[in-house]
Amino acid sequence: MNAYPPASAPPTPARLRRRSRWRRTLVWVALIGLAAAGLVMVLALSVAPSAETPLSIRNSGELGTRALAQVLRSHGVEVSEVDRTSAAIAHAREGTTLAILTSTWLTDEQAELLADVDADVVVIGQTGDLLDRLSHGALTDWYGDRPDGTLEADCDDPDAQAAGRVSWNAGVSASAQPGIDVCFVDSWANSYYFDEPDSAWRQIGGYASMEADGRRITVLPDVAMLLNSTIAEDGNAALALRTLGRHKVLTWYVAQLETGDLIGSPSLFSFLPRWVPIVGGMALVAAAGAALWRGRRLGAPVPEPLPVEVPASQLTRGHGRLYRRTRATGHAAAALRAGTLTRLAAATGLLGTSPPDAIVHTVAHHTRREPAEVRELLYGPAPTSEGELTRLAQQLEQLEQEASP
């Protein structure tokens, strides 16, 4: 007697070879697709400029400053962008230029640290408290209205003189003390806002420079002068190139709202390109996929003909020995109950797919037992010891005898 159902015909060697070739082709197609997607992402992050961050030298849109950075590089200036205070301080060495943009985001602690750097500082845009700290109160932002139109440099600063004429929409106000050059002065704004002759603030202009603590402090209050869309207008390009290109190294710091411990000692990760964490994550995912692909695994089950025919009684005894050796009383009880249900269904005229309630009530009717007792025997909890398993086997055998006609 054959203890197993007849096995289906095994696949031919040619069919197995076709399956193997198809799987290998799919794997290579998937790997090539992942490699192409990774290459595109790396190129997009490392080469293509970002079109999202305003004032970024990677931004080639209307609100970016990539055109200015490109021209500075063509003149031999090394331009690098940072967005953390710690990185800006680390780069701002003596003999270099630090350009600080959108500094109104800075906290008092960050502004105090930036005010102590050794590099020449160019403050661009509205500055908050940073300009007051850098100039020791000599310069401050000016908020007001002025008529449209360009203005002459009209000062002694050579950078402003080279620019000639510019227009501005945000200004800087300087105190009445020597050593401060205020250029592109708006006479209308000065007469309107500073009408008293002894006013401590006497100049409102679109550009200012001074020497403080052995370094040069320059203010470009109107960021519109530097944008890709306006850098070529009037004298904007000349003023920006001369102001920002005084040294061979320029650090472009676009201040952002920072959280956490970001103003202490700079870490190695502050100097890494932004695409490094993304590429590292992709590499980890690829490594995990390769490990899963190449790791040892069981293949799909392949039906095989039995080498010999095993009697059912011998197979049953073998299963019993295995269950006993592993103390798998639950598996043994499940096998006993499954066999009993099959024989009870045949003895009572039920189908093998009948629901448990129907089986319980039919068997209870034939054996004149309580349905709860029958349900406990056929569907109750698994025994936990060999003694309980033996009692269950005896009770199931007796139940079969009572149900037999």
State the pLDDT at residue 69: 93
Sign (positive or negative) of CA dihedral 98, 230, 258, 45: negative
- What is the secondary structure of 161-182 as a DSSP string? HHH-EE--SSEEEEES-TTEEE
State in Å, rounded, how far the first CA of the chain is from the last one.
27
What is the reported pLDDT for 365? Answer: 84
Q: What three-state secondary structure class fits 216?
A: strand
Tell me what the pLDDT averaged over the chain comes to.
78
Pseudo-torsion of CA 359, 361, 363, 364, nearest 10°?
Answer: 160
Q: What average pLDDT does this structure show over 173-194?
A: 77
The listed range with the strongest mean pLDDT (40-44, 54-58, 303-307) is 54-58
Is 377 within 8 Å of 396 (Cβ atoms)? yes
Report domain extents, the chain.
50-258, 312-403
Average pLDDT of the segment spanning 225-234: 89
Band (296; pLDDT cuts 50, 70, 90)? low
pLDDT of residue 77: 95
The predicted structure's pLDDT at residue 2: 40
Q: Is the pLDDT of residue 86 over 60?
A: yes
- Whether the pTM exceeds 0.75: the reply is no
Residue 273: CB atoms within 10 A of its CB come to 10
How many other C-beta atoms can be found within 10 angstroms of the C-beta atom of residue 252? Answer: 27
Which pLDDT value is given to residue 253?
93
Residue of 307 and 345 predicted with greater confidence: 345
The structure tokens listed for 131 are 């300009």
pLDDT digits 0-9 by tens, 252-292: 998 875 544 334 444 555 555 656 677 777 778 777 777 77
Beta strand 97-101 pairing with 120-124: parallel
- Taken as a whole, the chain contains a residue count of 405
Q: Which of 61-75, 128-142, 187-201, 248-262 has the highest mean pLDDT?
A: 61-75
Rounded to whole angstroms, the Cα distance separating 165 from 160 reads: 8
Share of the chain above pLDDT 70, in %: 74
Report the pLDDT value the prediction gives residue 219, as an integer from 0 to 100: 92
Mean pLDDT of 3-15: 48
